[in-house]
Amino acid sequence: MVKVLFLQSMYNMVDEQAETLIRDRISFVNFLDYPDLLPDAKTLWYFQERLSRTGRDRIIWDELQRQMEAKGIRVKKDSAQDAIFTTSDPRHMKHAEPRSNRKTRRSKSGSFTIKNWKTFFGYKGHTIVDDNNPVPFIRSYAATTAKDHDTKIDLSKRGILVYRDN
Tens-digit pLDDT profile for residues 29-78: 999 998 899 999 999 999 999 988 898 888 888 888 788 788 877 665 56
Q: How confident is the model at residue 85 (pLDDT cuts 50, 70, 90)?
A: low
Both 54 and 126 in one domain: the answer is no
Query: pLDDT at residue 81 above 80?
Result: no
> In terms of pTM, does the model score above 0.85?
no
Residues of the domain holding 113: 79-164
Q: What region does 67 belong to: left with phi over 0, alpha with psi -120 to 50, or beta?
A: alpha
Helix (H) or strand (E) holding 111: strand 111-115
Residue 137: which residues within 8 A CB-CB, separation 6 or more?
A: 129, 130
Q: Is 32 in the same domain as 105? A: no
**How many separate domains does the chain show?**
2
Check whether residue 55 and residue 83 sit in a common domain. Answer: no
Residues 66 and 6 in one domain: yes
pLDDT in tens, 13-25: 888 999 999 999 9
